[in-house]
């Protein structure tokens, strides 16, 4: 084994590796979980990550590592988007439908972080599992005009051991049995729930009054020292921020994989093309832009896409210029893009919730996930209890409303949408639609001269029904909790982009190659050595935060690929 | 009645070179020994500093709680616009800790040891971060392919140019209204001058003033954390945080100074100020929501 850590700038892990059994594109939740599962099977792996690395000592086995270089710094992380895609040089485009022309938006569209650890770095680590019926909604719901619900080619029971593994490695806190709607579990959470936020206590009053059951939100923030990492101290900079003290399980899989000596991670290396052999059915190498922007390549026997459902499709399209895209004999590549449909209800209270303390979300309820085919309980999603932790963003929103001078100061002091706000967010099931999709914008380029992804998306009546049913109840809940004001935030419209950052679908999994892009093991039907290992294979979105499910699926995929 | 404006003499003392320039970005009052950082490069001329400070004072005036001037928001903007004139641009503080908060001790509560201030350490930028920030500051023509999507995406002159032109426009407005400069214009009349500047500048300036007020002090504004204190915001809390975990008892407890699980008796909040309440009532009505009391 080569001595770790790496001394090569930008390269982590075993720098002596030159031949790889597998190349993983993306080092986030899916890429990291895949890397660990593959190395455990004895494979040598190269991970390409488009963004920089801010985990000092990630490949250093010395205790106390890694030391994350993240801070409670709103300006860097939120305003100046340290770990996010920079829309000025890497824009995306958006349109609600083809009828809206080439695009209605150029700029930031549903971007996720580009950094070692991916979006799992900035997440507040919510890890509920899906319910059992989530894996068979095609059968449960039948034909719904305009929607493309489908069964997953696997059941909850098949995925359950991998859920448990992902919870164990990531370090999940939670209370088994607290959610009356949760699927069965083979064991308890590795850690008990951590300290609840004050906000949760206030909203629990209304939750109980409406006959709902709030419970501690499962999360990958340590509530106890775990795996050499400290307990979360509720600094408040969780959602949207990397953890300063490494109490989140953002890179646990990745670190273990790096320490195996079988992984080489190249940061600031953005994949731009998958090169196939003459048959077009095998990927022979991956071309990428190195940190200086020069073209380089790496070969591997198997290729795993973990770049996000948007960027993975873009890569397949960039790899087949003028053609339909790699792996697209079904015509399904890029289709059935889903975000969770967020119904958001702010309540303004005569209370300072001090949202800059806590885990961003420490409680929620699942009652409004609903029941298939019950018109009185349509399929919505889990509801999170949130607030606002950011002071700069709070201040700017009042200025954007036009306030200046003493009026602005009144808003800064009162902070109605900052310290005095409680927010209910329902992560509603988003019906898959063939017309909601990713393709390449015909004109807009990134700063490297490459076509950017174009997102075409509009909601279906399915999720709007859940919004209609549960929205008024959100206002009622606020009232019962003591709010002075409550309303439902306007839905995106007029060409604006969806608010959800849970990006799913686009490389649908299924057993029928005419209707899906990847098979039941997330391998491309058309390309024998290409896999998808993030949320892109999801046939449906469920109504729960997707990351634990995508990690479980990635582990299962990697095990199958490794034989 | 609040004092809505600094007196002109005080104003000049703060914004001229003997005032603002001499103030360290962050003067630690906590456990850390204080700033050891190199002075940061600046962009504004003395006259521009005076002009923008006058405008900022009108946007967030002093009195009662700190305003744009007292929190040094103009220095924040000055540092940002000159970012690439430093060896490492002060765009992203590195951290993880500022030294304002202590390390936890054995029982999870605060110890007497404080970390170094690593907010004073600036990160090197990745290639794409640098390209993006250079476009923002120097304009889309300043880097290869910066204008690649023109005219679909309008070309940008960059913030430095925008600010320089805005300063001239603001002073020209003041002189056209028979004042020596914008600082001489009575506070209540200054906001009108902003209409003499491009829309893009107005949007950016207000945003930058508020960023300067509430960003970490190392960026040049929010002097001594004054805006966080005055507007009842914790700011950065690591490495101590808001919950203390005691390994001996395997239990956690709130930071008594800044509790997480209960209403903070020091900063409990309360009714909105009347003008704010009236606005929220209108928003609620327009959105079809409910006013409960």
- Mean pLDDT of the A347-361 span: 96
pLDDT at A369: 98
Q: What is the DSSP letter of B93?
A: B
Asked if pLDDT for residue B21 goes beyond 50, the answer is no
The interface pTM score, or ipTM, of the predicted complex is 0.96
What pLDDT was estimated at residue B36? 59
Model confidence pLDDT, tens digit, residues B136-158: 999 999 999 999 999 999 999 99
Q: Quick one: DSSP state of residue A424?
A: E
- Cβ contacts of A230 on chain B, cutoff 8 Å: 245
In angstroms, the Cα distances linking B204 to A76, A89, A106, A500 are 17, 19, 19, 26
**pLDDT tens figures, B226-265:** 999 999 999 999 999 999 999 999 999 999 999 999 999 9
Query: Which chain A residues are within 8 Å of B191, Cβ to Cβ?
Result: 404-405
To the nearest whole Å, the CA of B100 is away from the closest chain A CA by: 12
**What confidence category does residue A493 fall into, taking pLDDT thresholds of 50, 70 and 90?**
low
Residue A548: exposed, middle, or buried by beta-carbon count in 10 A (0-12, 13-18, 19+)? buried
A452 min Cα distance to partner chain B (Å)? 11
d(CA B55, CA B73): 11
Which of A351, A415, A488 is nearest residue B287 as measured by Cβ atoms?
A: A488
pLDDT tens, position by position, B175-192: 999 999 999 999 999 999
pLDDT band of residue A483 (cuts 50, 70, 90) is very high
Residue B141 near residue B154 (C-beta atoms within 8 A): no
Contact A414, A461 (CB under 8 A): no
Gap between the Cα atoms of A331 and A506, Å rounded: 11
Q: For residues A518 and A531, give the distance between their C-alpha atoms in angstroms, rounded to a whole number.
A: 7
| B276: chain A residues, CB-CB within 8 Å | 410-411, 414, 416
The two beta strands, B243-246 and A485-486, are unpaired
Best mutation target, A291, A401, A405, to test chain B (most B CBs within 10 A): A405
CB contacts < 8 A (A, B): 294
Q: What is the pLDDT of residue A499?
A: 82
Of the pLDDT bands very low, low, confident and very high (cuts 50, 70, 90), residue B17 is very low
Does A65 have pLDDT greater than 70? Answer: yes
What's the mean pLDDT when you consider all of chain A?
96
Residues contacting A43, CB < 8 A, separation 6+: A21, A22, A262, A562
**CB–CB of A291 and B127 under 8 A?**
yes
Please judge whether B260 and A358 are an interchain contact, meaning their C-beta atoms are less than 8 angstroms apart: yes
Sign of CA pseudo-dihedral A243, A249, A252, A253? negative
- Single pTM value for the model: 0.95
Confidence of residue B23 (pLDDT cuts 50, 70, 90): very low
CB contact under 8 A, A234 and B243: yes
Residue of A nearest to B203 (CA): A400
**Whether the Cβ atoms of residue A286 and residue A271 lie closer than 8 Å to each other:** yes
Cβ pair B96:A67 closer than 8 A: yes
pLDDT digits (tens, 9 = 90+) for A413-461: 999 999 999 999 999 999 999 999 999 999 999 999 999 999 999 999 9
Domain residue extents for chain B: 8-243
- 8 Å CB contact between B81 and B52: no
In angstroms, how far is CA A165 from the centroid of its own chain? 19
- Does position B31 have pLDDT exceeding 90, yes or no? no
**What is the pLDDT, as a whole number, of residue A491?**
83
**Distance to chain B for A88, nearest Cα, Å:** 6
DSSP state of A45: E
Of B129, B239, B260, the CB nearest to A234: B260
Chain B residues within an 8 Å CB radius of A489: 287
């Amino acid at each position: 084994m080569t001595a770790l850590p790496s001394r090569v700038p930008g390269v982590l892990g075993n720098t002596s590796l030159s031949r790889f059994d597998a190349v993983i594109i993306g080092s986030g939740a899916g890429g990291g979980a895949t890397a660990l599962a593959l190395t455990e099977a004895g494979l040598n792996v190269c991970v390409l990550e488009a963004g920089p690395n801010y985990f000092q000592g990630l490949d250093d086995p010395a205790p106390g590592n890694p030391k994350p270089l993240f801070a409670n710094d709103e300006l860097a992380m939120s305003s100046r988007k340290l770990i996010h895609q920079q829309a000025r040089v890497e824009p995306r485009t958006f349109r609600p439908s083809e009828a809206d022309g080439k695009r209605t938006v150029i700029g930031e569209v549903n971007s996720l972080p580009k950094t070692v650890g991916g979006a799992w770095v900035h997440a507040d680590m919510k890890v509920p599992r899906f319910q059992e019926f989530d894996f068979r909604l095609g059968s449960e719901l039948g034909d719904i005009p305009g929607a493309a619900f489908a069964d997953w080619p696997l059941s909850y029971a098949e995925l359950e051991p991998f859920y448990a593994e992902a919870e164990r490695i990531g370090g999940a806190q939670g209370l088994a049995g607290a959610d009356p709607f949760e699927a069965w579990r083979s064991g308890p959470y590795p850690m008990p729930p951590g300290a609840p936020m004050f906000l949760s206590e206030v909203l629990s009053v209304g939750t109980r009054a409406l006959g709902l059951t709030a419970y501690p939100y499962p999360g990958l923030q340590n509530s106890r020292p775990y795996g050499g990492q400290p307990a979360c101290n509720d600094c408040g900079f969780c959602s949207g921020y990397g953890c300063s003290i490494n109490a989140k399980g953002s890179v646990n899989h990745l670190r273990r994989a790096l320490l195996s000596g079988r992984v080489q991670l190249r940061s600031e290396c953005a994949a731009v093309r998958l090169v196939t052999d003459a048959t077009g059915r095998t990927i022979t190498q991956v071309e990428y832009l190195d940190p200086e922007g020069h073209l380089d390549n790496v070969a591997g026997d198997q290729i795993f896409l973990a770049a996000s459902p948007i960027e993975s499709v873009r890569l397949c399209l960039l790899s087949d210029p003028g053609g339909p895209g790699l792996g697209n004999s079904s015509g399904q590549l890029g289709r059935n893009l889903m975000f969770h449909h967020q119904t958001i209800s702010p309540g303004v209270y005569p209370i300072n919730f001090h949202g800059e303390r806590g885990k961003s979300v420490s409680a929620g309820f699942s009652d409004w996930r609903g029941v298939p085919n019950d018109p009185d309980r349509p399929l919505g999603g889990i509801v999170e209890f949130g607030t606002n932790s950011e002071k700069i963003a709070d201040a700017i929103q009042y200025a954007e409303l036009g306030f200046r001078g003493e009026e602005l100061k009144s808003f800064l002091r009162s902070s109605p949408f900052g310290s005095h706000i409680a927010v209910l967010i329902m992560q509603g099931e988003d019906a898959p639609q063939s017309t909601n999709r990713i393709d390449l914008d015909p004109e807009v380029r990134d700063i490297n001269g490459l076509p950017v992804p174009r997102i075409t998306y509009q909601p279906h009546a399915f999720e709007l029904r859940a919004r209609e049913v549960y929205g008024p109840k959100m206002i009622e809940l606020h009232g019962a909790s003591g709010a002075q004001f409550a309303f439902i935030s306007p839905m995106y419209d007029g060409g604006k982009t969806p608010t959800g950052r849970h990006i799913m679908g686009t490389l649908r999994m299924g057993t029928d190659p005419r209707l899906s892009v990847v098979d039941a093991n997330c391998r491309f039907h058309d390309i024998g050595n290409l896999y998808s290992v993030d949320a892109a294979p999801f046939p449906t979105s469920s109504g729960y935060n997707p990351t634990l499910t995508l990690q479980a699926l990635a582990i299962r995929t990697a095990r199958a690929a490794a034989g | 009645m609040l004092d809505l404006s600094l007196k002109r003499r005080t104003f000049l003392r703060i914004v001229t070179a003997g005032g603002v320039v001499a103030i360290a970005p962050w003067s630690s009052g906590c456990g850390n020994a204080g700033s050891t950082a190199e002075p940061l490069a600046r962009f504004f001329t003395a006259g521009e500093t005076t002009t923008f400070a006058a405008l900022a004072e009108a946007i967030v005036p002093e009195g009662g709680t700190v305003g744009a001037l007292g929190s040094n928001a103009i220095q924040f903007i000055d540092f940002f616009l000159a970012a690439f004139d430093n060896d490492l641009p002060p765009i992203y503080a590195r951290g993880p800790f500022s030294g304002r908060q202590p390390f936890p001790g054995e029982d999870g509560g605060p110890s007497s040891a404080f970390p170094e201030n690593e907010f004073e350490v600036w990160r090197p930028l990745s290639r794409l971060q640098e390209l993006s920030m250079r476009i923002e500051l120097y304009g889309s023509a300043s880097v290869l392919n910066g204008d690649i999507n023109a005219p679909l995406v309008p070309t940008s002159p960059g913030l430095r140019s925008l600010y320089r032109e805005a300063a001239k426009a603001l002073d020209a407005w003041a002189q056209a209204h028979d004042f020596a400069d914008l600082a001489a214009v009575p506070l209540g009349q200054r906001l009108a001058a902003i209409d003499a500047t491009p829309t893009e500048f107005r949007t950016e300036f207000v945003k930058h003033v508020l960023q300067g007020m509430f960003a970490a002090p190392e960026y040049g504004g929010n002097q001594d954390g004054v805006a966080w204190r005055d507007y009842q915001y914790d700011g950065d809390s690591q490495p101590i945080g808001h919950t203390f975990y005691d390994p001996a008892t395997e239990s956690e407890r709130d930071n008594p100074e800044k509790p997480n699980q209960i209403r903070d008796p020091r900063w409990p909040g309360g009714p909105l100020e009347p003008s704010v309440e009236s606005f929220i009532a209108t928003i609620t009505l327009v959105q079809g929501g409910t006013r409960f009391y």
